[in-house]
């Protein structure tokens, strides 16, 4: 049977459309970008946390398609193992559309998640990959399956660079928690993410000599500058010895290392491992604190000591 040339042309056109469509859809997904707008890791447990994540879909393609929900792996570069898996909701994939994720996430691979948290803490910026596959529907064309392998660049905490300790006060009266000093710690968070870390414990030393331990209660590290009350138990004998020997000006270079993170009575090892790798040094005026507490004269610390 002979077909009219018009039918043949139409058939070839439809065939080319159906063949090209999946490739065009995949190409549009490949060229699109995901830009995180906000992120929160809340209510942490040793093996899980609540994730709130908003990702903006950036595309210069004219294709406006519906993307089905799918399960995505979040991985570090060059890793075949996901550190977590998330459920990405359905969205209308147009330039500027946002996928809102709010779910309880279980850690899929603890070693990889430990590496991820270290990157969060120590990096200025770092990248992760979102991988998965799901359905795409464009107009009246049949649904096709596309694969996602999207690089996401995230701003980190930059080693807590800029941390300060102010209002350092020596306590002369007995305290129920045993503290003999307190102060205000400011921790900058240059990222868009919020991290709930619970009670964070710190060790303080000067040139390798331990001079105290401290606690920051209920640490919720939000974007911007965060202030926390610090309670400390200091080795005042060691501190005074340093003033009379190597640091007669009374300004001590105190190395601070966080070594504990406890939320709801449970240690968060992924935060603790990362925090122990990071050292922050501050300059602490100890003589002023001793003078304010009325202890400088009692200890024989005078202006001549610091001259």
* Cα-trace Rg, the chain: 28
The pLDDT of residue 301: 67
Is 232 in contact with 204 (CB distance < 8 Å)? yes
The pLDDT of residue 191: 97
2 is written with which tokens?
């002979």
What is residue 115's three-state secondary structure? helix
pLDDT tens readout for residues 255-279: 999 999 999 999 999 999 999 999 9
The pLDDT of residue 19: 63
What is residue 217's three-state secondary structure? strand
End-to-end alpha-carbon separation of the chain, Å? 109
The pLDDT of residue 2: 45
The phi and psi torsions of 177 (rounded to 5 degrees) equal -90, 5
Q: Which residues in 63-76 are b (16+ Cβ under 10 Å) and which e? A: bebebbebebbbbb
Whole-angstrom Cα distance, residue 71 to residue 147?
A: 11
Whole-angstrom Cα distance, residue 194 to residue 184?
A: 20
Does the pTM of the predicted model rise above 0.85?
yes
- Judge whether 5-155 and 159-292 match in fold: yes
Domain assignments of the chain as residue spans, ordered by start: 5-155, 159-292
Is 155 in contact with 125 (CB distance < 8 Å)? yes
Low-confidence ranges of the chain (pLDDT < 50): 1-16, 304, 306-307
What is residue 264's three-state secondary structure? coil
Instruction: State which fold the 5-155 domain adopts.
Output: Immunoglobulin-like (2.60.40)
The pLDDT of residue 11: 45
Place of tokens 């870390």: 197
The pLDDT of residue 24: 85
Instruction: State which fold the 159-292 domain adopts.
Output: Immunoglobulin-like (2.60.40)
| Residue 231: Cβ within 10 Å count | 18
The pLDDT of residue 21: 78
69 is written with which tokens?
């929900």
Is 123 in contact with 158 (CB distance < 8 Å)? yes
The pLDDT of residue 139: 83
């Amino acid at each position: 049977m002979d077909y009219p040339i018009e039918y043949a042309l139409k058939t070839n056109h439809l065939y080319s459309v159906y063949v090209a469509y999946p490739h065009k859809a995949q190409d549009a997904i490949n060229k699109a970008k995901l830009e995180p707008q906000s992120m929160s890791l809340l209510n942490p447990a040793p093996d899980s946390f609540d994730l709130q994540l908003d990702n903006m879909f950036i595309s210069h393609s004219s294709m406006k398609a519906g993307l089905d929900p799918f399960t995505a792996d979040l991985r570090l570069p060059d890793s075949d193992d996901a550190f977590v898996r998330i459920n990405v909701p359905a969205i209308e994939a147009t330039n500027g559309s946002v996928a809102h994720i709010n779910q309880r996430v279980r850690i899929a691979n603890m070693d990889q998640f430990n590496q991820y948290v270290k990157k969060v803490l120590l990096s200025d910026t770092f990248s992760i990959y979102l991988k998965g596959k799901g359905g795409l529907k464009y107009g009246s064309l049949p649904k096709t399956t596309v694969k996602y392998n999207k690089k996401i660049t995230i701003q980190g905490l930059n080693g807590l660079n800029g941390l300060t300790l102010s209002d350092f006060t020596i306590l002369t009266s007995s305290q129920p928690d045993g503290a003999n000093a307190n102060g205000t710690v400011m921790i900058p968070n240059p990222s868009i993410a919020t991290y709930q870390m619970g009670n964070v414990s710190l060790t303080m030393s000067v040139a390798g000599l331990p001079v105290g331990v401290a606690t920051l209660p209920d640490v919720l590290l939000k974007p911007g500058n965060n202030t926390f009350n610090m309670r400390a138990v200091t080795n005042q004998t060691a501190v005074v010895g340093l003033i009379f020997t190597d640091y007669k000006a009374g300004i001590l270079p105190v190395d601070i290392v966080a070594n504990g993170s406890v939320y709801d009575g449970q240690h968060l090892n992924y935060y603790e491992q990362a925090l122990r790798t990071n050292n922050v040094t501050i300059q602490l005026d100890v003589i002023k604190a001793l003078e304010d507490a009325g202890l400088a004269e009692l200890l024989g610390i005078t202006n001549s000591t610091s001259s």
